[in-house]
Structure 1
Amino acid sequence: MPPRFQVIDLFAGPGGLAEGFTAFRDKKTRQPFHIAMSVEKEKSAHQTLMLRNFLRKFAGRFPVEYYRYLNNGGDEPDWISLYPEQWAAAEMETLQLELGTDHAKKIIRNRLADLKRGNRDNFILIGGPPCQAYSLVGRARNKGIKGYKAREDKRHFLYKEYIEILRTLRPIAFVMENVKGLLSAKVDGDSIFELVLSDLTSPNFKNEYELFPIFSGGGHRPTRSSDFVLRTEECGIPQARHRVIIIGVRRDIAKAVPARLRDRGLLQEKSQPVTVGEVLGGMPKLRSGLSRDDSSEAWISTLIDASHKIQTADLGLDPGTAASFQRVLDRCRSDWERRPSKLRRVSANMDVLEPDCPKILGQWLYDAKLTRLPNSDTRGHMASDLCRYLFAAIYAKVVGRSPKALDFPKSLAPNHFNWNSGKFADRFRVQLLNQPATTVTSHIAKDGHYFIHPDPAQCRSLTVREAARLQTFPDNYLFKGGRTEQYVQVGNAVPPFLALKLAEALHSILD
């Protein structure tokens, strides 16, 4: 039986949206959504996407060679020789193109014509244009660029490539995702968000799509910015990631949707927050590395030196909190001295899920066929930063929040001219065990300071796999490329478990 809906995935990244849509099963356990075409320009993300699209050809039962590769390492299998038919199909649907170029327009136009030749009116368009131009950090960075003109920055208008394909394809529904900064982004005084909505509902578009609110629309047509804001911590994602999600259904389909379904919103119920500890707590303990002359012995010596430096610093804590701080510091030091060879930099064994992890999310993340976790090696840090990581993680553990710049002892403060300016008050941020993580962004590829592991004994930033867990990528999802490229892919992605919920909600309308 052919799939009911063919999905076109634009600006696909490593495939977060596609993973959720293709994983959805209806009440009869059928897979209604099939990826017909994915488009991504970045090489390593395209490689990740290509591999995952290939694995989907096996209907959830991945080849034994894949698990052998993940568990044992070595060279990646020659998939072309082993499974030529499945690899060729994945190549056909996974395009490495830069949207907006004449070359991409030509290829996509021809590919869409081929897909539509069967005259099947069952297309879904998903994806979201790159967010760097809309994010608050990106806009602040652009202001510092001499001669920068927003009107000339093509990234502001990449959404028009999405709109153009929407007009050409006339899918029965679409999902457009972007950062919350889209709501406040402007070009020469014009609101980008208003431009997007205007394009979606313009006379040239024949007002063809009805937009649906994420949560209860209160009986009104969703045009307010708040109607399109989704807070992932309210959707069972272990991360406070706030995004703009615009979902439209073609009017000839939408008119059959009862009013009660329109008013209730696509996601009817908000979920209990899932914490960092619930998804990371059972993962193998690892040590960080040293950026120079790394070894287990050198790392322990560096951390013990750091503990003495912290112990003699003026922490500015009340006596009770200072005593708790000292107890945690002593436990860490004892652990390092007692078990110097126990902590590795790469996961050598599989984890166990925390019993408090919600069952559905745990089943989504965990794969019993894995004996070790992929993409789980730690990065190296400077000795001075390890000292700050140790202080910050212990402070967060005993105080209940990540320290701000003013909470750091002067002896641990970095030599930054703006350290006390207030602009970078949370330059070193610990992810708290009992709360959802802060937004995982591509910046994690830079230094990891904003993503310090909550366990002070490990004294490190998050691994790619831990960041992927917070983004709800299944543990068997392999990210290709170098570690920096892997971090960028994870940070830019849409959480797949969230995409699963969006697919379920959209299917409830289309069904």
Structure 2
Amino acid sequence: MEQSKTLTVVDLFCGAGGLSAGFEMAGFRVLAGNDTFEAAGRTFSATHPHAVFLPGPIQNLTVEQLMRQTGLKRGELTVLVGGPPCQAYSVYNHQRGMHDERASLFREYLRIVEGLQPQWIVMENVAGIFSIAGGEAVHAIKLELRELGYEVEEKVLKAEEFGVPQERRRVVFIGNRVGAPIQHPEPDYGPGHDLPFTTIKDAIGDLSPLANGEDPGDIGYAHEPRSDFQRYARGNRTEVSNHSAPKLGKVNLDRLPYIPPGGSWRDIPYDLLPAGMKRAKRSDHTKRYGRMTWDGLSCTVLTKCDIHWGAYIHPEQDRAISVREAARLQSFPDSFVFAGSKTEQYVQVGNAVPPLLGKAIATSILDVMQDANKGAAA
């Protein structure tokens, strides 16, 4: 039997499917995804042809429906993945928990875990969850999962250490109910590791130049791939989608020529600064109106690549980065064509787990499973 037939994944809060794409790269078979975001569901469906997308709130998703749609029986699923919002969740703060929708979403996630009884679970969240109530939310999450029979360990992973050309921190919970060791992936990229960081030039240097506001539709590449990352991203494609530049107004266009690579709002003449920033301290808002550098890493890709809020100006061209450039910085392959409006496309990209980070997580679980199989066979 093929490995991918036996290694199965269901992705809750799946969005466009970045985490499950990484699991597919590692050899898992994604059976289903659930999300409320309709445009993300269209992207997920197009990029996960073997999976069924189940639209709507997780509150409306039943375990019976999941098993019926996937053909799974209780206890058969290899890995349940997803990123339920946990920021408000704590068993030590019932009042806050009862009235906060984000906490109830985690409760719904637990309901699916209890009903499906997956062998493994993977949850990701913002690293800031550690600071909530002195770490109580993290403690509560682990306690609740332990009561369902899962041993869980968490670790903050840096996306750039796994080949993603972006500084991004996420806490990743890995757990299982099969008594196997829990092992987070070990970094491969950056100082002290085998490979150098993937730079912005490695990531987007082969994409065709654009003018401010230009939307060429599907467009060919600027030149042959010149990095391993570009070869990975392109696959066998000859054209790329979602590569159109947001339209910046004249006041912003007047500011951009003053900002060098690695520069920011501090390089804009005082009389051209937004009114609120004329009062800012030079030490504040370090990434605002930031221009990327070819040899650096991207700042964290958010759901809006708004130049007023971060370093989202192209290293050479006087424009904001396109959806495709943001997707490359998140390590999405170009085969991911994002559905919906441009605003919805940026949201899908910014909310995603970088696929290469997902692949590293999946591979670490697979390594443990294979070691266990070897031990059982010996």
Query: Normalized against structure 1, the TM-score is what?
Result: 0.64
Aligned-partner Cα distance in 2 for 1:352–1:157: 49
Aligned-partner Cα distance in 1 for 2:119–2:106: 19
Matched, 1:434 2:304: no
Matched, 1:409 2:269: yes
Normalized per residue, which structure has more helix? 1
Question: 1:266: Cα distance to partner?
Answer: 3.1
Aligned-partner Cα distance in 2 for 1:176–1:483: 28
- Report sequence identity in percent: 29
Identify the residue that residue 374 of structure 2 maps to in structure 1. Answer: none
Matched, 1:241 2:200: no
SS in 2 for 1:461: coil
Instruction: Report matched runs for 1:194-213 at 5 Å.
Output: 194-201=139-146, 204-205=147-148, 208-211=149-152
Aligned-partner Cα distance in 1 for 2:97–2:74: 41
Identify the residue that residue 365 of structure 1 maps to in structure 2. Answer: 233
Q: Closer, same or farther in 2 for the Cα pair 1:120/1:168, shift >3 Å?
A: closer
Matched, 1:51 2:33: no
Question: 1:410: Cα distance to partner?
Answer: 1.1
Instruction: Report matched runs for 1:332-481 at 5 Å.
Output: 345-346=215-216, 348-352=219-223, 355=226, 357=227, 359=228, 361-370=229-238, 372-392=239-259, 394=260, 396=261, 401-403=262-264, 405-416=265-276, 419-421=279-281, 423-444=284-305, 450-455=311-316, 458-481=317-340
Coordinate RMSD, CA, aligned: 2.6
**Amino acid paired to 1:494:** V
Q: Closer, same or farther in 2 for the Cα pair 1:113/1:284, shift >3 Å?
A: closer
Question: 1:249: Cα distance to partner?
Answer: 2.1
Identify the residue that residue 115 of structure 2 maps to in structure 1. Answer: 168
Question: 1:409: Cα distance to partner?
Answer: 2.2
Instruction: Report matched runs for 1:68-217 at 5 Å.
Output: 90=51, 93-99=52-58, 101=59, 103-104=60-61, 107-112=62-67, 115=70, 118=73, 121-130=76-85, 152-186=99-133, 191-201=136-146, 204-205=147-148, 208-211=149-152
SS in 1 for 2:203: helix
Tell me, yes or no, if the aligned pair for 2:206 and 2:230 is still in contact at 8 Å.
Answer: no
**Amino acid paired to 1:50:** S
- The structure number with the bigger radius of gyration is 1
SS in 2 for 1:479: coil
SS in 1 for 2:359: helix
Q: Closer, same or farther in 2 for the Cα pair 1:382/1:286, shift >3 Å?
A: same
Instruction: Report matched runs for 1:19-30 at 5 Å.
Output: 19-25=21-27
SS in 2 for 1:13: coil
Deviations 1:360-410 (A, max 9, x none): x3332113332x210011111111111222212x2x3xxxx333x444321
Extract unaligned runs of 5+ from structure 1: 26-32, 58-89, 135-148, 212-221, 290-343
Matched, 1:506 2:365: yes
Aligned-partner Cα distance in 2 for 1:443–1:238: 18
Aligned residue-pair number:
353
Q: Closer, same or farther in 2 for the Cα pair 1:449/1:353, shift >3 Å?
A: farther
Q: Closer, same or farther in 2 for the Cα pair 1:230/1:447, shift >3 Å?
A: same
Identify the residue that residue 93 of structure 2 maps to in structure 1. Answer: none
**Amino acid paired to 2:138:** F
Q: Closer, same or farther in 2 for the Cα pair 1:122/1:19, shift >3 Å?
A: same
